[in-house]
Amino acid sequence: MGAQQVADRFAELYGARPEGVWAAPGRVNLIGEHTDYNDGFVMPFALPHQAVAAVSRRTDGVLRLHSADIDGGVAQLRLDDLAPGGDHDWTAYPAGVVWALREAGHAITGADVHLASTVPTGAGLSSSAALEVVIALALNDLYDLGLKGWRLARLCQRAENVYVGAPTGIMDQTASACCEQGHALFLDTRDLSQQQIPFDLAAEGLRLLVVDTQVKHAHSGGEYGRRRAGCEKGAALLGVDALRDIPYDGLDEALARLGDEEDVIPLVRHVVTENERVERTVALLRAGDPRAIGPVLTEGHASLRDDFRISCPELDLVVDTALAGGALGARMTGGGFGGSAIVLAEATAVDTLSKTIEEAFTAAGFTSPRVFEALPSPGARRLV
């Protein structure tokens, strides 16, 4: 989706050229799943798929929103009427950001917005964070708010948590706002410190496939919240602020202390081992050994499937088929209950692997997956 095309459509809709055009990407999480709301480590990278927004300011307290991807006309909202809760449609993401900015004391007086996104929705690739971050960045620049990086991400997370009502962590918004081309973002979600880890798989003769199972995780809200509540219960039972505080070498002792809390034990085990897997992945990439991260990704999938219990038959089929076909590693990515898996493989193997995965889906009677190659791409930025 080109900036020019989005700006032209804005002009058709609103009768004037936009003041600017911005982009914010979706993400793939390489490793570190369901660790962000436990103050843990994550390691996403930005996709080339992005939300693009053409935006101009208004001075009359009105927000007009239009999306190229949704049937329907221009939605018109009064800023003073924006309030969390209630039945929300897609406009909740941009409107929630405006609400969060105003709540934080920023004097937003209105905006006209036209959006177009290439991030697949319901695929676990952060289409909603891309929408939030692109609007936040546009308003930041137009209203000169001085927000950057994780501060921008925090406001977007507040829009999602409070306005939309999804109890998500900080990873997706930070990934969209802060990732850099050719790098994965090693993020400590406790203090939000970041390290850009070079992640140039092509130079190593490797590829990373994203396999969107087309299973929409529409019902993940309740399940996601239940996993989060279980983790918080585990932290409370163990007397720590967050599961991040349980060291990997203290895991057995922590699990023993949980006695017969059968619902909490596997959740704690996943989070503690997953944090260790992120650290191991970072160490292997720093040591220049990207092939060695394959088994770490696969371990992560087993933990999400067996302990966190958020996989599904389609995701497991991708992983099993990819590994049987010689992939170096594979795992589900994102919130789970559907969405996408990633497959790390030798460049020479990806065509055959894609075909084998598609055949396995047909044989199982599943909807055909969408398979594409993921290159670590730039984070949010102004285009025009």
Catalytically active residues, by annotation:
172
The residues in 6-35 that bind ligand GAF, with binding defined as CB under 6 A, are: 29, 33-34
Q: How far is the CB of 334 from ligand GAF (least distance, A)?
A: 5
Report yes or no: 55 and 138 within 8 Å, Cβ to Cβ.
yes
Look at residues 220, 106, 233, 206 and name the one whose alpha carbon lies nearest to residue 165.
220
Segment contacting ligand GAF by CB under 6 A, of 64-72, 163-171, 356-364, 376-384:
163-171
Applying CB under 6 A, among 38, 67, 168, 275 the residue interacting with ligand GAF is: 168
**Contact characters 222-241, ligand GAF, x per CB under 6 A:** --------------------
Number of H helices, E strands in the chain: 11, 13
CB 246, min distance to ligand GAF, A: 18
The residue among 106 and 280 lying less far from ligand GAF, judged by its C-beta, is: 280
DSSP H or E stretch at residue 360: helix 350-364
Of 172, 180, 212, 314, which one interacts with ligand GAF (CB under 6 A)?
172
Query: In the complex, what is the shortest distance from the CB of residue 193 to ligand GAF, in angstroms, rounded to a whole number?
Result: 17
Interface pick for ligand GAF out of 18, 335, 338, 379 (rule CB under 6 A) = 335
Phi, psi dihedral angles at 359 (to 5 degrees): -65, -40
Strand ranges (E), the chain: 20-29, 41-42, 44-57, 62-67, 75-78, 110-117, 183-188, 194-198, 206-212, 329-333, 340-346, 370-373, 381-382
Please select the residue that binds ligand GAF; options are 18, 22, 31, 36, rule is CB under 6 A. Answer: 36
Q: In whole angstroms, how large is the CA radius of gyration of the chain?
A: 21
Kind of pairing, strands 20-29 and 44-57? antiparallel
By the rule CB under 6 A, 114 interacts with ligand GAF: no
Establish if 274 lies at the interface with ligand GAF (CB under 6 A): no
**Is the dihedral angle over the CA atoms 30, 31, 33, 35 positive or is it negative?**
negative
CA distances, 206 to each of 3, 344, 378 (Å) = 31, 7, 20
Shortest separation between residue 353's beta carbon and ligand GAF, angstroms: 24
Q: Which listed residue (25, 40, 169, 230) binds ligand GAF by CB under 6 A?
A: 169
**Dihedral over Cα of 271, 376, 197, 351: its sign:** positive
Number of residues binding to ligand GAF, judged by CB under 6 A: 11
Structure-token match 């177009």, residue found: 116
- Smallest distance from ligand GAF to CB 256, Å: 27
Any bridge partners for residue 330, and if so which? 343
Binding site for ligand GAF (CB under 6 A): 29, 33-34, 36-37, 168-169, 171-172, 334-335
Binding site residues for substrate, as ranges? 33-36, 224
The annotated binding site for ATP is made up of: 67, 122-128
Binding-site positions read 33-36, 67, 122-128, 160, 224
